[in-house]
Structure 1
Amino acid sequence: MLVSAETVERMALVNYTQQNRDAQLAGRLVTKGPEYERLKRIAARLQGQVTTFRDDAAKWNWQLALIDAPVINATCAPGGKITFYTGLLRQLKLNDDEVAMVMGHEIAHALREHGRERVSRAVAQNTLTTAALTAAPSTEAQVQAAGAVAHYLFMLPNSRQNESEADAMGLELAARAGYKPDAAPAVWRKMAALGHGKRTPGSQATGSEPPEFASTHPSHQTRIAELTAMLPKVMPLYQAASANKPAKAAKGK
């Protein structure tokens, strides 16, 4: 980790603020209504469980943005800045449990600092300079630097290891919050049925996915199989949460 968590969170916040400002100017930032309120409710339940994985996450300034765009995507920036797109909710027709699995997965990336890993790797490879990361606040240089950081946070795919780790942690997080674990493989069955992999904002569907060996993401079927295999470990957490009882840690965490 060559870049501090504070630096990455600061850059992520600049980008997040710009993203929301642009969406607002375009009339696409949703700040009320059934879809937004549903996401807000689910986010609150998930956030209530983050200290299971790291205590300091309870002090993050958690925020939620819903953007009205036909994009199948969701993210959680370092520091707890969640973004969902209406395309994900509507095209996949996600129920609350499925939304929680997607959101839990994205929150897990932030909890495990996978984005910070990629930014640090970029600095190590000299594709991102430390000078850019220390750009003066409220300057055009900082906005440009934040855009560069966002490229490494969101545009580049995660490694298979990081994706699998976020799957496992996100599943446990959602189960602890009282969401049905079998919704996780259900989400990816829906993704497979649509022929979509996870896409970044503005990208187009191809109607298919690359072979697993040609992608850093697990294939849909591999992902479904791995998530299904995890269900027995997290089901007791879901049952305990549903019964409003303290949950024990999942085995193999």
Structure 2
Amino acid sequence: MLRQFFARGFACAALLAGLAACSTIETTQPGVVGVDRRQTVSPLVDRSKLTQQASLQYRQVIGEAQKKGQLNVDKSQTERVRRISARLIPAVASFRPEAVSWKWETNVITSKEVNAWCMPGGKIAVYSGLIEQLKATDDELAAVMGHEIAHALREHAWERASQAANAQVGLTIAAIALGMSGTQQDLTGMAYNAMFALPNSREHETEADRIGVELAARAGYNPHAAVSLWEKMGKLDGKAPPQWLSTHPSQQTRVRDLTVYAEKVMPLYEKAKRR
């Protein structure tokens, strides 16, 4: 029993040391919207390897779309999306100057899926379903793309990976210290997910919303289009899960926040229109 106690203590100490080595960073400047939360990342997650993995995944997705004849099929859609991204990209300098020189790419994938994303390093994909099903205007597309670009600028993927790695370490510590069964560990993991992981994801979504409206405004797109976009999304999604069980803010919370921050960056939009 004593030997088992010391073995558990040693394992816990080693794992705790890994958690203690976490560092705080600031990936972006606050901008006019004031996104200045200090971010926590873990030494358990190699940033460069994460970026390499994202690049590999991007190539796989794009390659698969090309094989299926789904890549940049509609020339007018592709030109439209690339024109919008070309205006958004220079605006990232207000949050992260070096990001302007990332190797940006923008593609349109033919799919009924209402989706868009921007991987670390500036690899953007917009799905045709988003354009067609929402009947998205240029301003609304700028809101979507600005939001996704914001995730890449803030390196939310790195943060989420760090949170997941630390959570796993924390749960392992608890399991070792308490001698928990597999079922008990599963329940503990579910509790962690509900209390910590999902709220953190909502925080990332809110940051991306706020940075996204500023990027759109600086690029000369009406930031209030973010509100009309998410109102359309709400009608499309149907019944959404309760906010506390969602990785996204509730529709009402999101629209209310976007309305406030879109108004905050209107002077940037007015200035961009005069150029």
Shorter-chain TM band: 0.7 to 0.9
Number of the residue aligned with 2:90:
48
Number of the residue aligned with 1:26:
68
- Opposite residue 258 of structure 2, the aligned amino acid is L
For 2:50 and 2:229, the matched residues in 1 are separated by: 30
- Any idea what SS the aligned residue of 1:159 has? helix
Number of the residue aligned with 2:139:
97
Number of the residue aligned with 1:174:
216
Unaligned runs of 5+ in 1: 128-155, 197-206, 245-253
Number of the residue aligned with 1:38:
80
- Any idea what SS the aligned residue of 1:10 has? helix
The alpha carbon displacement at 1:30 in A equals 1.2
For 2:125 and 2:48, the matched residues in 1 are separated by: 20
Number of the residue aligned with 1:202:
none
- Any idea what SS the aligned residue of 1:76 has? strand
2:273 pairs with 1:242 = yes
- Opposite residue 113 of structure 2, the aligned amino acid is V
Number of the residue aligned with 2:125:
83
Alignment of 1:99-114 (within 5 A): 99-114=141-156
Number of the residue aligned with 2:107:
65
> Which moves more between the two structures, 24-33 or 71-80?
24-33
For 1:117 and 1:31, the matched residues in 2 are separated by: 34
Q: TM-score, normalised by structure 1?
A: 0.77
Number of the residue aligned with 1:208:
239
**Deviation digits for residues 2-23 of structure 1, max 9, x if unmatched?**
3343222211110000001111
Cα 1:31–1:59 change in 2 (3 A) is farther
For 2:69 and 2:168, the matched residues in 1 are separated by: 38
For 1:80 and 1:106, the matched residues in 2 are separated by: 10
Cα 1:123–1:214 change in 2 (3 A) is closer
- Opposite residue 55 of structure 2, the aligned amino acid is L
Q: TM-score, normalised by structure 2?
A: 0.71
Number of the residue aligned with 2:59:
17
The alpha carbon displacement at 1:126 in A equals 4.7
- Any idea what SS the aligned residue of 1:64 has? strand
* Percent identical residues: 49
For 1:15 and 1:176, the matched residues in 2 are separated by: 30
2:252 pairs with 1:221 = yes
For 1:214 and 1:182, the matched residues in 2 are separated by: 27
Q: Is the 8 A contact 1:175 1:235 kept in 2?
A: yes
> Which moves more between the two structures, 101-110 or 4-13?
4-13
Aligned alpha-carbon RMSD (Å): 1.7
Q: Is the 8 A contact 2:214 2:262 kept in 1?
A: no
For 2:252 and 2:164, the matched residues in 1 are separated by: 31
For 2:247 and 2:72, the matched residues in 1 are separated by: 32
The alpha carbon displacement at 1:232 in A equals 2.4
Number of the residue aligned with 1:163:
205
**Which structure shows the bigger proportion of residues in helix conformation?**
2
- Any idea what SS the aligned residue of 1:30 has? coil
The alpha carbon displacement at 1:230 in A equals 1.5
**Deviation digits for residues 133-179 of structure 1, max 9, x if unmatched?**
xxxxxxxxxxxxxxxxxxxxxxx977111111110000001100000
**Deviation digits for residues 69-97 of structure 1, max 9, x if unmatched?**
10011110000011110000000000100
